[in-house]
Amino acid sequence: MLDIAFAKSALPKSGTLVLLLDEAGEAAGGAAGPTLLHKAADDATGGAIGRALAAADFTGRVGQSAIILAPGAGLMRVIAIGIGKRGAFSSRLAEDAGGMATAMLARDAQASVDVSGLTPALAASFAMGAVLRGYRFDRYRTTEKPEDKPKLTKLVLLGGEATKARAAWDALRPVAEGVFLSRDLVSEPPNVLNPASMADRCKALTKLGLTVDVFGPKELTKLGFGALLGVSQGSVNEPRMVVMQWHGAPAGRKGKTKPVAFVGKGVTFDSGGISIKPAGGMEDMKWDMAGAGTVVGLMAALAGRRAKVNAVGLVGLVENMPSGSAQRPGDVVKTYSGQTVEIINTDAEGRMVLADVLWYCQQKFDPAFMVDLATLTGAMMVSLGHEYAGFFSNDDALAANLYTAGQTTGEKLWRMPLHENYDKQLKSEIADMKHVGPRPAGAITAAQFLQRFVNGKPWAHLDIAGMAWSGKDMPTTPKGATAYGVRLLDQMVADCYES
């Protein structure tokens, strides 16, 4: 993870300096004056920076950038990043600016950033964006040339209220670490990350103060997890369920406060089973455990920042493979709830995993609410593409809290409908229900199916199929695993549920 340091304002004598300039050509959000580093740097270089920015038509609009090579005063480079209108520089824009800085500094081992015009909170947000964009999953690259690897290891943020900014960043850092953990899990190849090895990585979080319990096939069979076990029966990699608990409510309330609960679909590889997927793109199905990856990263973030809340995270971990022992279309399974389900398509396996885990969660923990996350349906990607995750909820207050947190963090949500009329599509002739309906409204009928295992508990289902992986670089997310939902849910907990 990129090292972030804070120091008093002083013009560096060498290296690269990053300036955050608004549309008036002044430091972000601060009053212009000779103490600001952009003015000091311009003076030290005999006005070379100002002339170069004018020649480049740099106006300071949001997202604009300019690079000035060897301007003088010992500086190798000056990078100017536009942040728009003064006073409108938000935490989201600060994060984007940080991400842009990291991308532009890939060739520098260390650089300095003028944050003299930023509040401590905005300086910390800049650091958050810079760190998140610096993520790289390269543990399996053995022949990469040194010159092709990013060199940046440290950013020094200069000016402003350094002590307060450092404290603000210290509060954000555990969330960044949770994001990195989630991205690592989702990025791992499926021959490395299977249900057992992922459960082991969850178990390692006890070092943060989490209580972690792992349920293997014997325990799951004894419990009666027929839906989850049915999905896994075609694979030599046996299933797991992991339960992670964080007891952070203030003393005197720990045992009296209902936990908030998060449930993740963890299909470590999804071939589709007997209803096998097309070969093209099947390698992407290593990230069909992204919902579980988000829950693991979230629990690490809550524990890391010592969140004042009781929380439980549950992940159902399976591998969905075709074999002589695999589940068949037409099978009927009995779920942990006692309800029976006719299997129509073995590639609709995620909802079966969630069905058992959701019922167990509300029976075992009686949580204040449950939120599940899953890369559940292609239908959701057809509906919303890669801009929003679709979500469903039986509780308007919970839905509002989720939506607001999504707007704050930029992990956007769009609420989709639930209605009993869709239930007709799940009617089975031989069991209590089918687990899929016809093609229309596929994401909705999937949510309707899950709702049957909620038992009236306040609940929301986030279908993150279009958001778990990015096919291109984004401001604070390099191409690859996004860890979508870690920051969203952490924000919601912080805003609405901490004591």
Q: Which sequence positions are flagged as catalytic?
A: 277, 351
- Burial zone of 125 (CB within 10 Å; 0-12 exposed, 13-18 middle, 19+ buried): buried
Of the candidates 445, 499, 476, the one whose C-alpha atom is nearest the C-alpha of residue 247 is 499
Evaluate whether 78 touches 68 at the Cβ level (below 8 Å): yes
20 vs 17, 166, 184, CA distance in Å? 10, 19, 31
Of the candidates 137, 125, 128, 123, the one whose C-alpha atom is nearest the C-alpha of residue 6 is 123
Of the candidates 356, 348, 354, 344, the one whose C-alpha atom is nearest the C-alpha of residue 374 is 354
State the Cα torsion 191-134-488-159 to the nearest 10°.
160
Query: Phi/psi zone of residue 3: left (φ > 0), alpha (ψ -120 to 50 degrees), beta?
Result: beta
Residue recorded with tokens 């006692």: 338
Question: Would you state the structure tokens that stand for residue 192, as one six-digit string?
Answer: 């490395």
